[in-house]
Structure 1
Amino acid sequence: MSYGPVVDADAHFIEPAETWSAKYLDQRYASAVPRRVVDSRGRTRRMVGDKLLPYIPLPPGKKPERLPGAADPAARLADMDRAGVDVMVIYPTAGLYFFSLEDKDACVAMCRAYNDWAADFCAHDPRRLVAPAVIPQMDVQAAIAEARRGAGIGLKGAFMRPNPIGGRTLEHPAYEPLWAVLAENNVPVVLHEGTTQDLPQVGLDRYDNFLFRHMVSHPFEQQMGLLSLIMGGVLERHPNLRAMIVECGVGWAPYWLDRMDDHAHHWGHASAPLALKPSEYFKRQVFVGAEGDERLLPFTVEAIGDDNLCFSTDYPHPDHDFDGVVDGLKAMKGLSEESKRKILGANAARLFGLDLSWWKAPRIAAE
């Protein structure tokens, strides 16, 4: 069976040094570039501005971020062809650290540099390479301006963190003009957590074990971001706003939606009233990226349906193997062929408004 074009809804760049060159970045802000340094114990750590961030242990002997496709579009397309991925939606790596920059002007400059570089990368094949704009979340008007500018240079979507930024969670009234602009211009917002350890983050106050921090930060921060968007009334006030939640799996979604529905029923008096059940806003406006090898995917489809789930690889990060991931999902038991078609590409194409009319099914060689 042909499942249609495969859209990887969560892949990454590893931004090369060129991203921060004078071609893209105002060099007055060069000192703010997230960079790797060696500490006094010989460990490689991130430095953002003048802040040295906690150590992140990398898998021994496994450094997929050095794949040429991490920063070279031709090499990435070759990897995509090998794996059977037709389109990639690509997010930053160093850009995850922009959100902790305290200097607003530096943050804006970093976002602009990254977005210009990403637009040039995607221009190599704009049908297959897609990137949302990273927006300076600490300043709402600057975020609006960069979201608009990003759309003007061919970027699709707005990339944000679910964490509190500048002391504001996502339902904060200050964000209302941003949500209105994104909804009006049909720009989806992508929430992506990262265990950068430089922002308010679940687990950071109680664990020094990076495995613990990484395990809890991604799903719990994303669940709270979704809580803000739905039960904070953002999606009710902006019914045309679409949101994408990535890199935390999907197995939690049925539980979290059920719990939100239950709390809206029993504890709705303690919050602003909603016209719909939380799960109804989710089905209307929210998408979640499944890991390619996620064993709870069939359970999730049975619980909440298949219209809001997308497929992701996290290429080239070390969390998952890339080779064989598409074939693995196609062979997954417990999913209908129609569910696989939606999850592998149709849902993400709908979310990002992708024109896939160019795609042709590969020929199957005669036996």
Structure 2
Amino acid sequence: SDTGMVMCLHIGTGFGALKLAPDAPIDNLIILACQISSLAVQDLLWGPAMRTYPDLKFAFSEGGIGWIPFYLDRCDRHYTNQRWLRRDFGGKLPSEVFRDHSLACYVTDPTSLKLRREIGIDIIAWECDYPHSDSIWPDAPEFVLNELNNAGATDEEIDKITWQNACRFFNWDPFSEIPKERATVGARRAIATDVDTAIRSRKEWARLFAEKHPETI
């Protein structure tokens, strides 16, 4: 952001916010991780940290963006319909305050990207999530570009979502150390030809590691 501090929230309030059955599969936690961010946003937007601290910004890591359109519609409807609660958003709608303070990060969200302008083209940031299992490494550049192209994103929108929004939000110049022409996917891959990006089973990886590092056995 231009001014102020950025608080990075990883999966919102955490898995502790979910009350699942004792024998619930781990799939429930992984799939519902993005929805947890809406609980954190509710606390911050209505709590009211976003109104009390105008320079405080929030980056919602791995929160996805699919929940945002419905959530903001619901907030604005509640604010305008329940005026007897006398909430003060400084002359703005809750959705406007949310966009003033937030950076919404996603790994893959093909359907929601079609609503990128409604969500806010300046508050969306793509993330790789390497080395977690949600990551789309090692083909992330091709994957994210294909997803954005399928959503009909323009070159300007692609630049915003893939790097410009994040750089502005964190007030970071990515080309201060590496010139832009040397920071492209092709340029970075060209200097990393010795990096093994093959996808292997854990058993195969362990075997190869043991061969290269017999002293660890």
User: Quick check: TM above 0.5?
Assistant: yes
Match of 2:201 in 1: none
Cα deviation, residue 204, structure 1: 3.3
Q: Please provide the CA RMSD for this pair.
A: 2.7
Post-superposition Cα deviations, 1:35-83, rounded to whole Å, max 9, x if no partner, equal xxxxxxxxxxxxxxxxxxxxxxxxxxxxxxxxxxxxxxxxxxxxxxxxx
Contact 1:233 1:272 in 2 (8 A): no
Match of 2:88 in 1: 273
Post-superposition Cα deviations, 1:304-333, rounded to whole Å, max 9, x if no partner, equal 231000010110001132112122222322
CA shift in 2, pair 1:274/1:203, >3 Å: same
Post-superposition Cα deviations, 1:198-234, rounded to whole Å, max 9, x if no partner, equal xx32233676221123322x22321011111112221
CA shift in 2, pair 1:335/1:203, >3 Å: farther
The code of the aligned residue for 1:269 comes to: W
**TM-score (norm. length: structure 1):** 0.44
Cα deviation, residue 268, structure 1: 4.2
Q: Which of the numbers 180, 187, 194 marks the counterpart of 1:360?
A: 180
Contact 2:105 2:124 in 1 (8 A): yes
Structure number with the higher helix fraction is 2
**TM-score (norm. length: structure 2):** 0.72
Taking the TM superposition and a 5 Å limit, the aligned residue runs for 1:295-334 are 295-331=110-146, 332-333=149-150, 334=152
Q: Which runs of 5+ in 2 are unaligned?
A: 188-217
| Equivalent residues, number | 178
Cα deviation, residue 246, structure 1: 1.5
Match of 1:230 in 2: 45
Post-superposition Cα deviations, 1:284-304, rounded to whole Å, max 9, x if no partner, equal 11110021x321243231322
Match of 1:344 in 2: 162
The residue matched to 1:361 in structure 2 has which SS? helix
Instruction: Quote the Cα distance in structure 2 between the aligned partners of 1:195 and 1:287.
Output: 16
Provide the identity percentage: 24
Cα deviation, residue 342, structure 1: 0.4
Contact 2:59 2:105 in 1 (8 A): yes
Cα deviation, residue 270, structure 1: 3.5
Match of 1:168 in 2: none
CA shift in 2, pair 1:268/1:229, >3 Å: farther
Taking the TM superposition and a 5 Å limit, the aligned residue runs for 1:91-240 are 186-193=4-11, 200-204=16-20, 208-216=24-32, 218-240=33-55
Cα deviation, residue 193, structure 1: 2.1
Q: Which of the numbers 88, 97, 100 marks the counterpart of 1:284?
A: 100
Structure number with the higher strand fraction is 1
Contact 2:130 2:137 in 1 (8 A): yes
